[in-house]
């Protein structure tokens, strides 16, 4: 019979104090506390579409104006949000561990850059970023925090189901400064594989970590869902911080239920 994960914070903190290489895996739950829409589960719609209806190469080829409206909306929303106590606790922990000659690396499924804004330096973004673009012609990836990202999207992207599509001509959508090609968000869409270099970096960190934290992720989106269970199989302690149990909870050594903004600052306090 499998033992239930511990919720003993003192025991976890003892392990954390001795850890030399900590990996923190984060998902949508850590940003939900900053008021970021997750587009998962009930009510996860933009107008009449679910995210997967728009976040795909097929959708972009069919209607780049509509897809850019959706991402413009998400970018503008993110610019009104701030990192929460969980993001800040992770960033502070990285800084403290570095001073002690130890490491903390964030591997995130989020595309909102809130970890970066909180001050985290060592971040592996599995699914890309809302604030980078990729040229569909020359492939150049560029950081972009322009608001709006192009003049034609000014005031567009309202999530109201009754809002009319902007139908922006392709020539007026975001264009590459190098070759004038059409830009797309530098995010991993449904139907696309993760960047092999990014996956390799994540794998390298996971293979040498001696403590792993799973924060605000449902552990159902692959390949990230495999990361923590594989670490646990090596005998490395894994602690989950989540609002509720997940399909992977039983394979972890620790489970701390509740908002990450409440549980993490206590767990990572030196």
CB 214 within 8 A of CB 243: no
CA distance linking residue 267 with residue 9, whole number of Å:
7
Catalytic residue among 72, 87, 127, 255: 127
Give the residue numbers of the binding site: 27-46, 71, 74, 109-112, 135, 138, 176, 179, 216-218, 242-244, 260
Binding residues for Zn(2+): 135, 138, 176, 179
* CA atoms of 18 and 26, how far apart (whole Å): 22
257-265 long-range contacts, CB within 8 A, separation 24+? 257/7, 259/33, 259/86, 260/29, 260/30, 260/33, 260/84, 260/86, 260/215, 260/216, 261/33, 261/84, 261/85, 261/86, 262/85, 264/85, 264/86, 264/89, 264/90, 264/215, 265/85, 265/86, 265/88, 265/89
Binding site residue list for NAD(+): 27-46, 109-112, 216-218, 242-244, 260
Active site residue 127: yes
Binding residues for substrate: 71, 74
Active site residues: 127
């Amino acid at each position: 019979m499998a033992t239930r994960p511990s919720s003993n914070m003192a025991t976890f903190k003892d392990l954390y104090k001795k850890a030399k290489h900590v990996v923190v895996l984060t998902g949508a739950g850590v940003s939900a506390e900053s008021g970021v829409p997750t587009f998962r589960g009930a009510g996860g719609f933009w107008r009449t579409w679910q995210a997967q209806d728009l976040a795909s190469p097929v959708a972009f080829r069919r209607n780049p104006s509509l897809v850019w409206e959706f991402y413009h909306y998400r970018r503008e929303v993110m610019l009104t949000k701030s990192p929460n106590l969980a993001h800040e606790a992770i960033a502070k922990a990285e800084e403290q561990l570095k001073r002690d000659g130890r490491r903390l690396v964030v591997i995130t499924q989020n595309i909102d850059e809130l970890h970066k804004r909180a001050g985290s330096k060592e971040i592996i973004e599995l699914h890309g970023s809302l604030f980078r673009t990729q040229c569909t012609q020359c492939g150049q990836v560029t950081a972009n925090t322009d608001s709006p990202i192009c003049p034609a999207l000014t005031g567009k992207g309202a999530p109201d189901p009754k809002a009319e599509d902007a139908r922006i001509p392709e020539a007026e959508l975001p264009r590459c400064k190098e070759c004038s090609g059409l830009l797309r968000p530098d995010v991993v869409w449904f139907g696309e594989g993760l960047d092999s270099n990014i996956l390799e970096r994540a794998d390298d960190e996971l293979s040498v970590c001696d403590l792993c934290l799973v924060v605000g992720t449902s552990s159902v989106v692959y390949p990230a869902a495999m990361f923590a269970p594989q670490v646990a199989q090596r005998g490395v302690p894994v602690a989950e911080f989540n609002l509720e149990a997940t399909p992977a909870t039983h394979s972890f050594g620790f489970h701390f239920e509740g908002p990450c903004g409440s549980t993490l600052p206590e767990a990572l306090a030196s």
